[in-house]
Structures are given as structure tokens and as C-alpha cells.
Structure 1
Amino acid sequence: MNLPNKLTVGRVIAVPFFIAAYLMGWYIPALIIFIAASFTDMLDGKIARSRNLVTNFGKIMDPLADKILVYSAFCLMVGDGTIPAWMLIVILAREFTIGGIRTVAASGGLVIAAAMSGKIKTVLQMVAVPLLMLAAGLYNTHIYFYVYVLAMIFLWASLIMTVYSGIEYVVKNKQVFKA
């Protein structure tokens, strides 16, 4: 297994530690784990492309590892009331749709890599989550409002990109529906 794929697997392995820290109220360690895991997303792609180490495993597992990390955080945040459940439902509906398309494509021997709009969506989500955690940690301080507003801007931007990228993905891969 090459280095980018190891980083992807490491991101998945970090998720239970992130969840445990968050649930125990250890928000700073949870934040550090989340940021470190998010950083591996950028790093594994950069290494894979620069060293010509792009693999089908990476094309499939890299976006899946991102989803496991980010949507675990969103589930925790729905649970504690940080974000509304309907936002997570919209996000998951997009992911299940895209996952279905990828599954059908894969059954025909086609691997569909993530589009740029999906990557932007992921980056926005990976910024929104730590900002939301930081805002929660700053709740009784004078800067809470500013961090919270910034977190909401990134959360809403990620939701808009979620919908946009989902539509784009369906349109670009409509041939899969004809198979």
C-alpha cells in the first residue's frame, strides 16, 4: 500500500478517536484530531498526484474517508443541537445518490473520481466543522458571535456546494443511468 493510501486509511482510523474525544467533552483534542485528519486529505492527494501514485483504491477510499470523518462530526453536532438535522439529511441524500451512481458505474467497470465541486464541498465542510467546534468552546466569551457567524457562513456555503455538486455529478454522469 502506497503512502497516500496509508494516509487515507489513517484518516478512517482517526474517526473513532475523534468521536470518543467529542463525546467525552474533550473538544480541544477532538478539534486537533479532526484538523490533523483533515490535513491528511490534502496531503494524500498532493502526494498521489505528484508521485504518480493515483490508484483506484485511492479514488474510491479517499472521498469515502472524508465522508466518514465529516459526517461523523455532523452526526455528533446534530445530536448536541449544534446543527439542524435537516441539513445533515440534505447532505446524506446527496451522498447516497452519488454513492449509488458510483456503485452502478463500478459494476460496469467504471471508476468515477471526485469532481472539483465535490472537493470544494469537502473543504468547506472540513472548515465548517472545526469552526463550529471552536464556537461551541467559546460560547461564553466575547468572540463567540464572530466565530459562530463565520462557522455558519462555511456551513451554509458547504450546504450550497453539496446541492450544486450533487446536481453536477448527476448531470455529468447521466450515462450511468442508461446502462
Structure 2
Amino acid sequence: MKREILNLPNTLTLTRIFAAPIIVGLLYLELFLHWRFGSYLAAIVFMLASATDMFDGMIARQQNLITNLGKFLDPLADKLLICSVLIMLVRMGAEWRVPAWVVIIIVAREIVVTGMRAIAAEKGDVIAADRFGKLKTIVQSLCLAPLLWHYPLFGISMALVGQVLLYVALLLTVFSGGNYLYNFYKNWLMNEEC
């Protein structure tokens, strides 16, 4: 078990979990002190943390370090990072262009999928992220970076770029959630009924 916890891919995954409170703290500096660099630093920390998602899986496959703990922690780290940032962006106010109803749908999907994973784990199965879930996470990360930056960059409205990508991420979130529900019903619930 110690080997599973301390391997490099799992350590990279854990950095995403620890990045979430740092980003929230930086956004509070922006919110209460109107310190613009709070959002800049939050965006940079978020991008660095998001990059670990690509490397942890790649390293795990290359070095044959794929573990059940890693399969569980990887999507959990993504959910903690993305959901905490989305909730904080709603807190930042309407000018940050993140509607609460969008965040509610995204967070609800994450809770439902986590519940399905818990049921599968109880039966001794681990549900790893599928390709739609991975694509959803990539697009969510791509939308959150400019939303966190918030201020114009080279004359381009980062908030607007982030908002457009947020609605693309919302569509992928709903689609991938439906795909998980369908597969969960097909693979576990139908077998229980038989």
C-alpha cells in the first residue's frame, strides 16, 4: 500500500488536490483586496495543477504504476480542483461570467458519477474515467484558465473566451454524465435484476 501512495503518478495527482485551496485563497485576495495578481496567480497555479493530470496518467502507463488508488484519486482530484474553482468563480460575482446554474449542473453530475463509482467499488470494481469523461475534464480546464485570469490579455477578453468554453464544457459534462449513467445501468443494475 505504501508503494501505491508514494509513487510519482499518485504524488502528481495529490498536487491537484492541494492546489485547490491555494487557488481559492488567491481568489479571496482578488475578491477582498482587489489584488488583480490574485487572479493571475490563481490562473497560473490552476494551469500548472491541470498539467499534472496529463503527466500522472502518462507516467503511470509508461512505468507500469497503474493502481486502484490512482484510478480512484485521479478523477477525485479533478473533481475537487474543478468544482472548488467553479464554486469560487460564482462567489466572485456576476462580472466573472460564471452563472450559478451552470455550476450546479456540473457539480451535480460529478456527485452522481462519484456515487456510481462508490457503488461499483463496493462490488469490487473500479470505474476509470472514459474518453468522454477525459475530454470533459480537458475542456473544463481550458475554460477555467481564462475565467480565472479574467482580465483582458492582448486586447482579448479572457472572461468571454472562458465563458464560451464553459458552455462547451457544460454540454460535454451532461453528455459524459449520461454516458456513465447508461453504462452503469447496463453493466451493474441490469445484472442485479437478472
TM over 0.5: yes
Gaps of 5+ in 1: none
* Offset from partner CA, 1:19-57 (integer Å, 9 cap, x none): 111111111111111111001111101111111111111
What is the 5 A alignment of 1:138-157? Answer: 138=152, 142-144=155-157, 147-157=158-168
Identical amino acids, percent of aligned pairs:
39
Displacement, 1:88? 0.9
Distance 1:88 1:55 in 2: 31
In structure 2, which of residues 135, 140, 145 is the aligned counterpart of residue 125 of structure 1? 140
Distance 2:27 2:92 in 1: 11
Aligned-CA RMSD value: 1.5
Displacement, 1:148? 3.4
Displacement, 1:128? 0.4
Structure 1 contact 101–176 (Cα < 8 Å) conserved: no
Displacement, 1:138? 2.2
In structure 2, which of residues 45, 54, 71 is the aligned counterpart of residue 59 of structure 1? 71
Q: Aligned residue for 2:34?
A: none
Q: Aligned residue for 1:3?
A: 8
Q: Aligned residue for 2:184?
A: 173
In structure 2, which of residues 39, 52, 55 is the aligned counterpart of residue 40 of structure 1? 52
* Offset from partner CA, 1:83-123 (integer Å, 9 cap, x none): 11110111112111111111111111011100110000000
Structure 1 contact 124–157 (Cα < 8 Å) conserved: yes
Pairing 1:137–2:151 present: yes
Displacement, 1:130? 0.9
Distance 2:134 2:140 in 1: 10
Displacement, 1:169? 0.7
Displacement, 1:150? 2.3
Normalised TM-score (structure 1): 0.92
Runs of 4+ that moved beyond 4 A:
none
* Offset from partner CA, 1:44-81 (integer Å, 9 cap, x none): 01111111111111101001101111111100111123
The structure with the larger Rg is: 2
Structure 1 contact 104–176 (Cα < 8 Å) conserved: no
Distance 1:123 1:91 in 2: 14
Q: Aligned residue for 1:15?
A: 20
Letter in 1 for 2:79: K
Letter in 1 for 2:54: M
Gaps of 5+ in 2: 1-5, 31-37
Q: Aligned residue for 1:84?
A: 99
Normalised TM-score (structure 2): 0.85
